Structure 1
Amino acid sequence: MPILRWLTRDEDVRGAEKVPYRLMEEAPELGYGDQNSGNMLIQGDNLDALKALLPYYAGQVKCIYIDPPYNTGSAFEHYDDNLEHSKWLAMMWPRLELLRELLAEDGSIWVSIDDKEGHYLKVIMDEIFGRKNFITNVIWRKNYSPKSSARHFSEDHDYIVIYAKEADRFVPNLMPRTEKQNKAYKNLDNDPRGPWKTSDLSARNPYSQGRYPITTPSGRLIEGPPGGNYWRVSKENLEKLDHDNRIWWGKKGDAIPQIKRFLTEVKQGIVPQTLWSYDEVGHTQEAKKEILALFKKDVFITPKPERLIERILHIGTHPDDLVLDSFLGSATTTAVAQKMGRRYIGIEMGEHAVTHCIPRLKKVVDGEQGGISEAQNWQGGGGFRFYRLGPPVFTEDGQIQPDIKFPVLAAHIWFTETGTSWAKQNDQTPFLGNHDGHGYALLYNGILGDKAAANGNVLTRKTLAVIRAAQGDFEGPMTIYGERTMLSEATLDAEQIEFKQTPYDVKART
């Protein structure tokens, strides 16, 4: 497979490894509404934030939508969109790598882009996600009138590049049928099965039983299919269909036969198409009007309309699925996710995470009626928690910081050992769980709440008994982390225990 080379590629493809794991520190005073809705708004560099999310959300995100800087030279107030090409690739590569780790096995990632970097984006995403996992390239017509100031062509569209984590497991939802599509179905013969439309009974493909004469109800003889083609069905099956009133012979009963397809028997949805017009999903002017209605001024140059994000989330998610946008901008993705009953994580580095994203989401929680609210029957509800990025979890030599709390270290150990997110963040027991027949436990920070040696951080017969009591029915081998062990090697072998010492055996996963 071809790969893309640029000046700093060798360093950039290892960029995600060098990003430190950071704590996420909640600012409760900036959250709003129901704090248990499962929604997060994070302020900070999205590269650091994505790495911080891995221990908790790896493999959990159903749909990722990002609208990164297009590298067009535009003077963005909130982003440096005048990045030199190599720097743009250096910025995108590690972020895409981390996004892939966060994506669920049946999940998808959607990236808005234009012609300036779109083709380069496709090549690096082929590398990161695998070319076989490329789904399609949607064309969104974003302008409804030509730009007379354009030097060469008026650019009327953007692209949305779509990849799956595993293409074989990604199943896009069907689009609802439109009134226009349904109007094509009539009921010319008052069939009790309701409206229908016809489809051709002849085809070019050879069929051994597809050549025979037909006599119409009016007595007209039709020697064979028109144009030397073949009938799609045998004479016997044609008679059965006719007996069931599934053949249309025309109003006078003398037309070439056609098969009746009933509206009640067709799929109640249609396969998504790759050309999206502005009358279906909105345009840039609509998006700007939505922003003006919210903030009373045009604070973002290229916002996306809510209808566009609604289309993406309709195809790529179901209610309560987790959605992620790491270039949150004006918070359109999270606003739409809230209105559609999806959980979300939004990441924004600028101060407008506080000055713009929070106010917009507060309005949504309170029942704001712009954008897709009416279409979704949105009446308000839900809420979000607000986080900022804190200090690194590990020191420069890869050891854990001494003041790290148990749940944070437990999540990192679980992710390091299993490559999956830790689902028991509220459990205050030393047994973390089992993965693929192997158990993991952590004795740290007084988790046992007793006065035993090192506050219970030492593996002894007593602390092992507590771990065994917490592991339930699990009986397999186990890795236990602790300050030290007082059990002999023979005992560890007999108990099928691998002991690892904190902090020396706790490493940052790269």
Structure 2
Amino acid sequence: MVQQRLQLTWFNKDRALIPTETGKYGYTWVDPSDPRYCETHTLVMDDYVRGAQTPKRDEFEYAERADLAPQDDNLMILGESGDVLEALTRVPELAEKYVGKVKLIYIDPPFNTAQTFASYEDNLEHSIWLTMMRDRLLNMKRLLAADGSIWVHLDDVEVHRMRLLMDEVFGAENFQAEVVWQKADGPRNDSTGFSADHDTILVYGQTRQVTLNRMMRTAADDARFSNPDDDPIGLWWDGDPTAPGAATHTGMVFGIQQPITGQTIYPARGRCWTFGVDRMLQIMRGWGPYEVGEITEEEIAAQQQVIGSAARARIDMGPLIIPGWTPQAGAHARERYESGQWPEIVLRSRGVGGFGRKAYAPTVGQPPRTWWSNDQVGHNRAAKSEIKALFPGTDAFATPKPERLLERIIHIGSIPGDIVLDVFAGSGTTAAVAQKMGRRWVTCELLESTFTTFTRPRLEKVVNDEDPGGITRTKGERIPADGVDLPEGVSAEDAAKFTSVLNKLVADDPDLKKSADVKTLKAAAKTKRTKEVVNWRGGGGFQSAHLSPACFDYDPDLDRVMLTAEATGETLVESVAANLGFRLLHPDDDYVFDAQRGNALLKVIDGVATVEIVDSLVSHVTPGETIVLAATSVMDGVREHLRRSCRGSRVVALPDDVFRYTEGGDL
């Protein structure tokens, strides 16, 4: 019996969509073989934008990221996302560069919420929206590297349907996470029902080989760690030296003599030491001349008390002791404590308490989690402020994304030098953050007004170091003021909060304000910030491009494929080469062919293919090469003449031999 996989179905799922009007959202259903859907557009390269890196200045600190080489192999495209993706996957020159090589894809597609924003129409009916997304996801899958990931940003309207669609395209086994981003910093009082606080970001890998980075370590991560003994390994915190399972690990239940007080210490009831007797003996010899002591009735009884009634204590397991311990031995252990750099098992309560165990700070941060609060990655209001700072007096985007949100996504899913793709550019946040983080990027925007007013100008500001907001700079770290030594376990942020609360408490009491005790407390908690940290200094650049015009069209009145008015000259040559899978050749006065695919050479003629043209072309081929002659008109006998003159060659009549389509079936 064949196992059927659960799939999402919708109206016209087997059909395709084409834009109803160029440069706008709005689609028309067509057959998947319709040339208006199938045609591969090429990219027309426009100008290249280059910026310079700003030199360092003494007034700032500089993060490691500020020293990354700015990327200049970036591509910004004006055009419809579906056509752009097909160009990236089908045009040979582009496919070689991008197919299977994009490490991270982030898309923030129209949410389909029946709202009309200033920058795009967001009112697509479910079946249209799903078809639109399905076709784009299939091409994105081709672009994504085997160890890459795709992040799809949505609200509640389509996320449940998108989850099933992503399962279908990328495979349910490649689902990684459903990240919840707290996009709001307060309730919307104009909401008639619930006020939406969050968006959802679906994360899928291309394969099970997907690689995701752990989070960057933060000051908050390090706040619980310290290094009171100057351990050369680094920061640590006092962890539990025991573990559950005394009844099943009776060989790890025994007494250990405290080296300073001489008291024998056991694990708590039901627990055992983290390590066995040999390892514990090795560690404790860092405190003094420990040995395994004799088995006594008292030792067995104490072990049994820890183990409980579920198992019997070992009668061959003595305690770890310093033989003949005396107060003088305790004094030697005290000297060892005062010297620092303690063993892995530490002495609590300034040396006279029980045992702890060093748990060292990890060299990397925590694994990424699925709840992202707005204090960590920003919110919509902060993102609007970023856009307004770049473009004063504008309010073009209802739900922009903050740079810190993209910073986290790009950090988790890529490393410097990787390619990041976003085909719904909007204000260009993804590309801007990718550039600031040393990644290469490709992005596109449908609306020319958005492209020319926001996307391109923003990225120009980024490479020219004219964008100080977002993740470009971060506030300096809060640290104790000069001469202030904060108590163990109290961070500089804690001290600043304490001072703030204390100021509020004494604000209405003049006597308290003048109190010597209050002043002493403030002085003891005084902090300052280090210099502002610069993470990006400009530099790099990007290629600007737009999609070529359509060269093939379908006329429903004639029920046949037609060439468009733009299908002339180099536009026709590049279109035919792309749609037949040929790579363009560099222009050369001595070379007559336009493109090549293996041993096949392509010549495109905007006119009549004649026997004389065939003879001229044949004179330029070498043994083993074949000719593909594409022409808008073909004289009788030319096809046969070419086949006889150059075996394996053929004539392509434009447009019929590229797209053989009629509404009623193939020609």
TM range (shorter): 0.7 to 0.9
Structure 2 distance, partners of 1:343, 1:456, is 44
Verify the 8 A CA contact 1:220 1:254 in the aligned structure 2. no
Superposition deviation, residue 187 in structure 1: 2.6
The 3 A distance-change label for structure 1 pair 187 and 357 is closer
Q: Give TM-score scaled by structure 1 length.
A: 0.79
Shift of 1:54: 0.8
- Among 312, 317, 320, the alignment partner of 2:417 is 320
Query: Which residue of 2 is the match for residue 75 of structure 1?
Result: 116
Alignment of 1:28-67 (within 5 A): 28-29=46-47, 31-33=48-50, 37-55=72-90, 56=94, 57-67=98-108
Q: Does 1:387 align with 2:552?
A: no
Give the distance between the partners of 2:411 and 2:268, measured in 1 at CA: 43
Paired residue for 1:251?
349
Query: Which structure 2 residues correspond to residues 285-324 of structure 1 after superposition, within 5 A?
Result: 285-296=381-392, 297-324=394-421
What one-letter code is carried by the residue in structure 2 that aligns with 1:332? T
1:115 aligns to what SS in structure 2? coil
- Corresponding position of 1:150: 191
Q: 1:192 deviation in Å?
A: 4.3
- The alignment of Structure 1 onto Structure 2 pairs a total of residues equal to 465
Mapped partners of 2:233, 2:445: distance in 1: 54
Structure 1 unaligned spans of 5+: 416-421, 434-438, 447-451, 468-479, 490-498
Q: CA deviation at 1:506?
A: 8.6
SS across alignment from 1:10: coil
Contact 1:43-1:387 within 8 A present in 2 as well: yes
Match runs of 1:140-219 below 5 Å: 140-166=181-207, 168-205=208-245, 206-207=248-249, 209-217=251-259, 218-219=261-262
Is residue 278 from structure 1 mapped to residue 278 from structure 2 by the alignment?
no
Contact 2:40 2:579 in 1 (8 A): no
Match of 1:361 in 2: 459
One-letter code aligned to 1:353 = F
- The one-letter code matched in structure 2 to 1:219 is G
Could you tell me how far apart the structure 2 residues matched to 1:149 and 1:107 are? Answer: 40
Q: Report the Cα distance in structure 2 between the residues aligned to 1:268 and 1:455, rounded to whole angstroms.
A: 68
> Are the equivalent residues in 2 in contact too, given 1:63–1:324 (CA < 8 A)?
yes
**Shift, 1:207, TM fit:** 4.0
Distance 1:193 1:25, change over 3 A: closer
Q: Is the 8 A contact 2:115 2:122 kept in 1?
A: yes
Aligned partner (choices 361, 365, 374) of residue 473 of structure 2? 374
Matched residues in 2 for 1:235 and 1:412: separation? 73
**Aligned residue type for 1:463:** T
The TM-score with structure 2 as length reference comes to: 0.62
Output the amino acid matched with 2:384. K
Contact map agreement 2:244 2:272 (CA 8 A) in 1: yes
2:432 paired residue number: 335
Q: 1:257 to 1:302 in 2, by over 3 A?
A: same
Unaligned ranges ≥5, structure 2: 18-29, 53-70, 287-342, 475-533, 555-559, 605-611, 630-641, 660-667
- Amino acid in the other structure paired with 1:72: T
Greater Rg by CA: 2
Q: Which residue of 2 aligns with 1:238?
A: 280
Aligned to 1:496: none
Cα deviation digits, residues 444-493 of structure 1 (max 9, x gap):
239xxxxx984885498x6247x7xxxxxxxxxxxx6645566898xxxx
Q: Once the 2 structures are TM-superposed, how far is the Cα of residue 82 of structure 1 from its aligned partner?
A: 2.2
- The 2-side partners of 1:241 and 1:156 are apart by 51
CA RMSD, aligned part only?
A: 3.7
**Relative to 1, partners in 2 of residues 1:253 and 1:398: Cα closer, same or farther, differing over 3 Å?**
farther
Distance in 2, Cα, partners of 1:378 & 1:345: 19
- Counterpart Cα distance in 1 of 2:601 and 2:9: 46
CA contact (8 A) 2:595 2:603 kept: no
d(CA) in 2 for partners of 1:231, 1:388? 67
Q: Secondary structure at the match of 2:622?
A: helix
In structure 2, do the counterparts of structure 1 residues 59 and 456 end up closer, same or farther at CA, with 3 Å as the change threshold? farther
Q: CA deviation at 1:190?
A: 4.1
The match for 2:10 is 6
Corresponding residue number in structure 2 for 1:23: 41
Structure-2 separation of matches of 1:413 and 1:214: 80
Query: 1:495: which partner in 2?
Result: none
- Is 1:262 aligned with 2:262? no
- Alignment pair present for 1:135 and 2:203: no
CA distance in 1 between counterparts of 2:103 and 2:658 reads 28
In the alignment, the residues of structure 2 paired with residue 190 and residue 15 of structure 1 have an alpha-carbon distance, to the nearest angstrom, of 72
Residues in 1 aligned to 2:615 and 2:628: alpha-carbon distance in whole angstroms: 11
Contact 1:414 1:432 in 2 (8 A): no
SS at match of 2:199: strand
Amino acid at match of 2:226: K
Distance 1:305 1:427, change over 3 A: farther
SS of residue matched to 2:280: helix
